[in-house]
Amino acid sequence: GIETGRKEVNRAYTPPLDAFNARCKSIVDKGKKFYEKLRDVEREADDYYKSEKKNELREHYEAFAGMLLDVVPYEKIHDDRWLLKGTNIQTAKAEIEDIVQKIAGDREAIKEMHLEFENDALTVFYQTLDFGEAIKYARKLEEDKRKVEEMEAELARQSAQTVPEGDMYTGG
C-alpha cells in the first residue's frame, strides 16, 4: 500500500536530490575558498599599503625631527590612525610636524625652568613625552634630596653632641 508507494518514491527521488545537494555544497565550498583567497590577497595588499605609508611617514619624521631622533624614535610618536586609508598622508605629515614642534617647545620650557634635576626631567620627558610627568619627577627628586640633606644634617648634629666621659663605652 501506501508504505510501499512511499518507499518507491523515496528510492526514485532521493538519489537525484542527494546528488543535487552534493553539487550545491561543492559550489558553495568553492565560493568560500575563493572568498578566503581573495580576502588573504586583500589583507596582503592592505599590509603592504600600510607598510609603505608607515615608511614614508617615518622618513618624513626623520627628515623633520633632526637631533630629536636620538632621543625620540619614530615609534614613540607613531599613530596607527595615520595608516588608515581614510587618512590623507599630508594630514599625517602635518600632525608629525606638530608633534615635533610641541616636543621642541616642551623641551625649551623645561630648560627655561632651570630645574636642579633638569637632565633627569628631560630623560623622563623623552621617555614619556609627558611634560607634566617630567616636571613632577624633577620636583620629586628635589624633595627627596631635601629630605636626605635634612636627615644627614640631623645625624651630624646628633653625632656632634658630646658624650659625657663616664658614659662612653671603651670596649673593655
Q: Could you tell me if 138 and 131 are in contact, meaning their C-beta atoms sit under 8 angstroms apart?
A: no
- pLDDT tens digits for range 31-65: 999 999 999 999 999 999 999 999 999 999 999 99
- pLDDT tens digits for range 131-164: 999 999 999 999 999 999 999 998 888 888 755 5
**CA separation for the pair 62, 75 (Å, rounded):** 11
- pLDDT tens digits for range 95-127: 999 999 999 999 999 999 999 999 999 999 999
Three-class DSSP category at 114: coil
Nearest to 42 by CA among 85, 86, 81: 85
Q: Could you tell me if 120 and 141 are in contact, meaning their C-beta atoms sit under 8 angstroms apart?
A: yes
Helices (H), 66-88: 74-77
The neighbour count for residue 1, using CB atoms within 10 Å, is 5
Query: What's the predicted TM-score (pTM) here?
Result: 0.68
167: CB partners within 8 A, 6+ apart:
none
C-alpha angle with apex 122: 56 to 64, nearest 5 degrees?
Answer: 20
**CA separation for the pair 145, 139 (Å, rounded):** 10
